[in-house]
Amino acid sequence: MKTSAIITAITKSIVKMDRILVYRHTNPDPDAIGAQFGLVALLKAAYPEKLVVAMAPVPGHLAWIDTTDEQLVTPQATDLVIAVDCANHERLAGELPTGAFV
């Protein structure tokens, strides 16, 4: 699949879904948290009518970067899940909702 087709597919998924949960890897470094919260900020600015949430708590020593509001959300199968800065499912921080589109 060409890059433009991938970007189009991702954009269509974002436009279609009302709730977007953004995950990153466990034991995060500032880069992982920056990627996660950067994408959350971008999606909130582009789609203010959608619920966009950074999932997984931020470790205390990195709380100066940002803090998550995941406790306000119960993941559901109808959510769009986006994972950033993570190579595989095993390293994702937090539980994915069963049946969610990733």
What is the arithmetic mean of pLDDT over 9-26? 94
The model's pTM is: 0.88
In percent, how much of the chain has pLDDT > 90? 56
Q: What is the pLDDT of residue 34?
A: 92
Q: Domains of the chain (ranges plus CATH)?
A: 3-91 (3.90.1640.10)
Percentage above 70 pLDDT, the chain:
95
Place of tokens 């470790």: 59
Q: What is the rounded distance in angstroms from the CA atom of residue 71 to the CA atom of residue 64?
A: 18
Q: Is the pLDDT of residue 81 over 80?
A: yes
Q: What is the per-residue pLDDT across 43-65, written as a single tens digit (0 to 9) for each?
A: 999 999 999 999 988 888 888 88
* Helix locations, the chain, DSSP H: 3-16, 30-46
